[in-house]
Amino acid sequence: MAFFEIINLRAINVRVNWVVNRERNRGFPPCYNRDDIIYSQEELMGPNKVVIKFKDGTVKKGSTTDFLPNKTCFHLNTHNETVETIEVEALKALFFVKDVVGNKDYNETYQDVIQGGGKRVQVEFDDGETIVGYVLGYSPDRQGFNMTPADLNSNNERVFVVASATKSVTFL
C-alpha cells in the first residue's frame, strides 16, 4: 500500500516523499513507484514579480522564488537572465507587483478599505516617501513587515517594508 509522508513544508519547497513498499505495490499504477518528488515554489505558484527599492535610491526589477521575511537575503532573477543575491538590510522596501513595468503616471490614492486586511498604517520612509496600507502583524523589533497597500488599483499587491528604512509607522 502507498502512503504520503510530508517531509518539509516551507514557502520555498514542498517535498513529498512517496513511501512505497514495492512488493505490495502490485496493481497500483506505475506513477506510485516514484521514491522522491520535489516541487519548488516556482512549480507550484510561479515566481513573484518584484520591484526592489534600496536605501540608496537604486531600483531593481525582476522576480524571486525564495524571499522570506525572516531571512537576511534572497535571490533576484533579473530579466537579463542573471541571479543576484540581495541583502534585505540594504533595502528600503520590496514591492510585490502585478507587472514589473508598472504605470509611472498612476498616483496612488490609498483610500480603499480592505476588509480583513488588519490595522491601517501610514509608513513614512527616511527618504520622505509615504505609503498607507494594512498590516496583520507589526513589531518594531523585527527586520520588517508585510503590508497591503490601501489602493486596490495600484500595481503593488503587497509590500515588505524594511524597518530600518522607516522614519515612522503610525496606526490610523
Domain ranges, ordered by start, for the chain: 2-44, 47-171
Cβ atoms 63, 77 nearer than 8 A:
yes
Task: Kindly report, residue by residue over 49-80, the tens digit of the pLDDT.
Answer: 999 999 999 999 999 988 999 999 999 998 88
Q: How far apart are CA 97 and CA 6, in angstroms?
A: 31
pLDDT tier at 146, thresholds 50, 70, 90: very high
Q: What is the pLDDT of residue 1?
A: 35
Give residue 142's Cα distance to chain centre.
Answer: 16
At residue 132, the 3 state secondary structure works out as strand
State the cell numbers at 70.
525572516
More confident residue, 47 or 22: 47
Which pTM does this prediction carry? Answer: 0.72
The mean-pLDDT minimum among 12-21, 47-56, 109-118 falls in 12-21
d(Cα 24, Cα 40) in Å, to the nearest integer?
30
Q: Above 70 in pLDDT, residue 10?
A: no
Asked if 40 and 59 touch (Cβ cutoff 8 Å), the reply is no
Whole-number pLDDT of residue 122: 95
